Each structure stands twice: as structure tokens, then as C-alpha cells.
Amino acid sequence: MPHMPVPPLSLRQMILRPWLLAALAALASAALLLAASVGLNLQQTRQNESAHMNAQGKRFLERLEQVFGELRQGVDTLQAQPLRGCDGAMKAALQDVGLGSRFIYEAAYVHGQVACSNRGGERVIEPQRVADIQGPTYSYWLNTSTEPNDNLAALMLGRGRFLVSTSRGHLTDVVDLPAGGSLLVVLDHGKRAIPVLGPPQQWPPTQPWPPASQKPLVELGDRLMYRMATRSPDYQLVLIAPRTRLPLKLDGPLWLLFPGSVVLACLIGWLVLQLIQQRRSMSAELQSALRRGELQVLYQPIFELASRRCVGAEALVRWRRHDGSLTSPELFIPLAENTGQIRQITDFVLQRVLEQLGPLLRSNRQLYISVNLAACDVMAPRIGRVAARLLARHRVSATQIAFEVTERGLIDVVVARENLQALRASGHQVLIDDFGTGYCSLSYLQTLPVDCLKIDKAFIDALGHDAASSGVAPHIIRMAHSLHLRVIAEGIESEGQAVLLTSEGVNYGQGWLFAHPLSARQFIGLIARGRRMGQQRLDDEP
Ligand code: C2E
Ligand code: MG
Ligand code: MG
């Protein structure tokens, strides 16, 4: 038997294969998840770094104030006692101060050639240069380092003829200054910076000084700077440290990210596959629903508001499965629009309207039924031909079938305008459905061949409330009147809304206040009773 040639798959068909789409979704989500987790990790590292710097800065400041506090106390004690000169009593006094303080490393008396310290004859600290800070009472030397051993280099404080000093080690023991980092004391409003610890730094680190940012932690590209206000307005403490290279630490939970991302991505791929298959099966189900007659058409009456007389109805499709469950058109109409099955549905609705209501329409020539069109129905002249054929078969006038199009349905205005014009030329009315939810402006509306606007339920709901949209309906009504268009209000649920709309000049309305969507039998019954709404509202669904 000869084989049928298999047509090659188009690129679109290849790409739209469910498993390929699922794999692409899985890959994309895996890449996204990994990138997000790496990004998060880097951000976390940076935050840790900043928090570390903050903590170090605070500890430095505390210790520095503590150390200088003791140094001040030491020189104050020496200054207060009466001894001057370098006798045994003085040496004992110096020793007392040294022993009585945790931080004082050397206490000395220096006056010209006369000098002695608590360390006996060993050494006497002596300032090599003028004080870094010369206050009214105290002189501060922040870095007197000439020592090969960095820890012995001193912070020194002077008052009168007395000097006390401490080891720099008392600062470094509270924090680990990173290699290349420095602790600086900033003087003269930022003009000078003396490194207390670590190497000198390029100064000022920001132009201008102080940096515009009020935050204590400033990022300087390759370095971090932490500014500390001190109790004295004359100087500030600044900690500068090079930024770590931020290596991505793949320890602990981060290792779990890779298998975690892969598992999650597989799950997403699987879900996508299910979703595609579900959509496919729903569209297949819809196809068999059309064949098996599971689709029904209901009719929601439209009333003249003043007289409460029924002037027509809107045809609304329903999908009632054999098991009795109902699928909302809001769910399957968009799907049918995507798959193109909507054309079949529109044809079905038109056919059903004329089959069920043909005799009614023939005997009530003023009555009309309005049928919803989808975007693709408006984009081709097909629907006009289908309607003409059915109308001729059922001997119903084209004026009795109206078509509703939404603003969203007018994708290509030029083509839509042409087709709508053709429908009107055949005698149909054209309505804009859900008006107000799209972007139609007055000037745009002027160019469209339409007879009537249906105001969306959302704006009817807002009527009489303080909501921002409460003014939309009155505005649309004025706009429609100025263009000589009729207005139908949809979704009227209360008498108050009906009265308000009538006072605004709206002539027609539909909604649960008057009637739910009715079966053909119920609708025919309503018309037979004189087209008027009875005392009791008719209920929907047979
Ligand atoms: P739509 O054309 O704006 O239809 C009005 C919807 O509002 C209908 O919902 C109707 O049942 C509902 N409704 C009417 N009065 C009230 C009321 O007072 N309160 C509330 N809460 N709702 C009210 P339904 O039948 O579920 O239809 C939903 C949408 O599905 C329709 O909106 C229309 O866009 C689409 N649709 C329905 N049938 C067809 C059809 O045959 N073809 C096409 N293309 N679309 C259809
Ligand atoms: Mg409609
Ligand atoms: Mg509507």
C-alpha cells in the first residue's frame, strides 16, 4: 500500500510542541532560579560585609573613648597632685597611675631636660612633633609610631608637664582590622586625616568631604568607609577597609540550590505540559460538545426602561455537559477564540437563535436578538454571509438580528469598519459591547459604523457610589447622545440604578432586576404575556 507523504513540520508547529514548550519553560525557570539565588547570595554577602563593618566601627569607637577616658583620668590625677620634678615620690606617683589603670602603658613627667617615667630608667616617651589635637586642656598624639613593633606604638595624651600613653594593641585587640584597612582620625573639618591604625589612605576619599550621604556606611567602589561621630565636634573617626572580592560561597545551603532548582524547574515543566494538555483536551472536549449538542443558547431580555416593555434579547451561550455541570462562557469563549473554534460557536448561536425564535421573530417584527461576535468574526465578511443564508431560510428580517462587538474586537480598525459597514448595509444593527472598558475615544467612535453603546456592568455598579468610576456612565451617556447613538445599560440589579439611568436619559437596559438569561421557551412565554415584565422576575436556566 502506498504511503501518504507526511508533510514536513513548520517551524511554528515544531516550537508549539507541548514537550518542547515544557522543556523550554523548565530551562528558563531553572536559569531564572539559579540567577536569582546567586544574586541573592551576593547581596547577602554584601549585607554581611556592611553589618560586619558597622559592628567593628562601633567597637572601635567604644574602645577609643574608653582608652582616652582613662588617659585623661591619669593625667588629671598627676596634674592634681602637688609634686613636680623627678624625685622618688614622683616616680612612685607615676607608678601608681600606671598600675591603677588598665590602659596606661607609660606615665611620665617631662620638663626640659628633667624627665622620668613609671618604667624607671628604661625610657621616657617623648613627643616627636606637635600634638595632633591641641585642646585647651589636653594635647593628643594619635600616632607616635617610631617603634618597629606596631603594638608598642603609642597613643599619647599630655597635660601640663605630664604625659600618659597607651599601646596601640589596646585598640587592635577589640577588632581585626582587615589587611589594607585603616582607622583614621579626621581633623580640621576633613582637611587632615591621621591614621591611628593601618597604612595611610588617600585623603579625602570622597569629594567633597564630608560625603553627601548621611549614612554612616559609605560604599566607595573598591572600599567601604564607616564614619563615626565622636563626643567631640573637633574630630571624627573613620574606618576604611578594602571590599572583599565577594567570592560566591558555595557552602551550606547554597549547594542545595542546584538540585533544588532542577527539581523545581522539572516541576514547572511538568505543570506547563499538564496545562497545555488540559487546554488541548478542553478544546477537543469543546469540539465534541458542539457535535453532541451540549451547547445551549439562553436569552436575556432587554427592556425599554420607561415602559418596562421587552424590546429584544441578548443571546448568551452556555455549555452544559451531560453530567449537568455548567462551564462559564468566560472560560471557554477565550479558549475558543484562541483555537478558532469561536467561528463554529458564532454560527451555532445564530443558527439556534433562528431555529428557536424564527416564528417569534416573524410574528413580532419589532423584536430583535443580539448576538455576540468575537474579534475574528469582525475581521472577515464571513458572518454576514452566514447570517444572510440563515435569515433567508427562516424568513426573518436582518433588522431583527443585531451584532455586539467589543472594543477589544476592533483590532484592525480599517478591516473591522469595512465589515461592520457591510453588516449595517444589510440591515443589521451594530452595538459596542462592554463600552468603557477599552480605549475608544469620542473621535474614534465617530468613525465607527455603530448604532448603539452597551455600557459595561462595572460602570452601572459604580452609579450612585462615591467610587472614582461613578461618573463614567453619565459621561458615556452624554457622549452617546451627542453622537446620536442609542444606549443600553447592562447588569442593572437594582431599581435605584434603573431610576437613575432613566433620569440620565438611558432608554434601554438588561439585568437581573428584570430577568436572568432565559430559555427559549421562557422567553417566548414572556413575549406572549405582552412583552411586559410581570410582578415576579422570571428566573433563568430551565
Ligand atoms: P456580555 O456579552 O457582556 O454578556 C453579559 C454578561 O453579563 C452575561 O454573562 C450575563 O449573564 C451577565 N449579566 C447580565 N445581567 C447581569 C446582572 O444583572 N448581574 C450580573 N452579575 N451579571 C449579569 P455570561 O452569559 O456569563 O457571558 C459572559 C460573557 O461571555 C459575555 O459578556 C460575552 O462576552 C461572552 N459570551 C457569552 N455568549 C457568547 C457568544 O455566544 N459568543 C461570544 N463571542 N461571546 C459570548
Ligand atoms: Mg454582550
Ligand atoms: Mg457586555
Ligand 1 atom closest to the CA of 316, numbered from 1: 38
pLDDT by residue (tens digit) across 322-356? 888 888 899 899 989 988 899 999 999 999 999 99
Angle at 377 between CA 372 and CA 379, to 5 degrees: 135
Q: Across all residues in the chain, what is the average pLDDT?
A: 83
Give 178-244 as a DSSP string.
PTT-EEEEEEGGGTEEEEEESS---S-SSSSSSPS--SSEEEETTEEEEEEE-SSTT-EEEEEEEPP
Using one digit for the tens of pLDDT, what is the confidence trace for 33-46? 888 878 887 787 77
pLDDT of residue 45: 76
| Per-residue pLDDT tens digits for 495-512 | 999 999 999 999 999 999
Question: pLDDT class for 455, splitting at 50, 70, 90?
Answer: very high
pLDDT above 90: residue 236: no
Residue 416 forms part of a structural domain: yes
Q: What gap in Å lies between CA 255 and CA 322, rounded to an integer?
A: 52
Q: Which atom of ligand 1 is nearest to the CA of 330?
A: 30
406 CA distance to ligand 1 middle (Å):
12
Cell of 432: 459596542
pTM: 0.57
Same domain, yes or no: 443 and 508: yes
389 vs 375: CA distance, rounded Å: 21
Please tell me whether residues 517 and 398 are part of one structural domain.
yes
Res. 527: pLDDT tops 60: yes
- Do the domain assignments include residue 271? no
Q: Which residue's CA is the closest to the ligand 1 atom numbered 7?
A: 491
34 three-state secondary structure: helix
213/346 same-domain check? no
pLDDT beyond 70 at 202: yes
Give the residue-averaged pLDDT of 508-534: 89
**Quick check: is 495 in a domain?**
yes
**Looking at the CA of 348, which ligand is closest?**
1
Residues in the chain, total: 542
Give the integer Cα–Cα distance in Å for 89 and 83. Answer: 8
Ligand nearest to the CA of 349: 1
Taking ligand 3, which is a single-atom ion, which protein residues have CB atoms under 5 Å away?
A: 433-434, 490
Separation of CA 414 and ligand 3 centre (Å): 23
Which of 242, 260, 275 is the last residue before a domain boundary? 242
Q: Which of 372, 453, 488 to mutate to test the pocket of ligand 1 (most atoms within 8 A of CB)?
A: 372
User: Which residue's CA is the nearest one to ligand 1's atom 25?
Assistant: 316
Same domain? For 299 and 238 the reply is no
Is 371 inside any structural domain?
yes
Same domain, 97 and 228: yes
Query: 517 with 299: CB under 8 angstroms?
Result: yes
**C-alpha of residue 31 to centroid of ligand 1, in Å:** 42
Instruction: Tell me the three cell numbers of residue 345.
Output: 460557536
312 in the same domain as 201: no
282 domain-assigned: no
Structural domain boundaries enclosing 459: 295-529
Cα 489 to middle of ligand 3, angstroms: 9
Whether 536 is in a domain gets the answer no
Range scoring the smallest mean pLDDT among 77-91, 146-160, 271-285? 146-160
**CB of 138 sitting under 6 A from ligand 1:** no
391-405 pLDDT per residue, tens: 999 999 999 999 999
Banded model confidence at residue 1, pLDDT cuts 50, 70, 90: very low
pLDDT confidence band for 11 (50 / 70 / 90): low
How many Å lie between the centroid of ligand 3 and the Cα of residue 288? Answer: 27
Atom of ligand 1 nearest to the CA of 510: 15
Asked whether 341 lines ligand 1 (CB < 6 A), one says no
Q: How confident is the model at residue 536 (pLDDT cuts 50, 70, 90)?
A: low
Is 412 among the domain residues? yes
Q: Which ligand is nearest to the CA of 518?
A: 1
- Closest-CA residue to 237 (of 174, 176, 198, 187): 187
At 269, the pLDDT band (50, 70, 90 cuts) reads: confident
Amino acid at 172: T
Using most ligand atoms within 8 A of CB, pick from 302, 316, 434 the residue to mutate for ligand 1: 316
The ligand 1 atom at the shortest distance from the C-alpha of residue 517 is 11
Instruction: Please say whether the beta carbons of 90 and 116 come within 8 A.
Output: yes
Count: domains in the chain: 2
Q: What is the CATH number of the domain that holds 380?
A: 3.20.20.450
More confident residue, 374 or 212: 374
Please give the grid coordinates belonging to residue 71: 588617659
Give the residue with greater pLDDT, 298 vs 540. 298
- Is residue 250 included in any domain, yes or no? no
Give me ligand 3 centre to Cα 393, in Å: 29
Confidence of residue 121 (pLDDT cuts 50, 70, 90): low
> Residues with Cβ < 8 Å from 425, sequence gap 6 or more?
none
Report which bound ligand comes closest to the CA of 404: 2
Q: Helix, strand, coil proportions of the chain in percent (round to 5)?
A: 45, 20, 35
Cβ proximity of 489 and 514 under 8 Å: no
Nearest protein Cα to ligand 1, atom 19: 491
DSSP code per residue over 83-134 = --SSSHHHHHHHHHHHHH-SSEEEEEEEETTEEEETTBTS-----SSS-SEE
Residues 236 and 303 in one domain: no
329 lines ligand 1 (CB under 6 A): yes
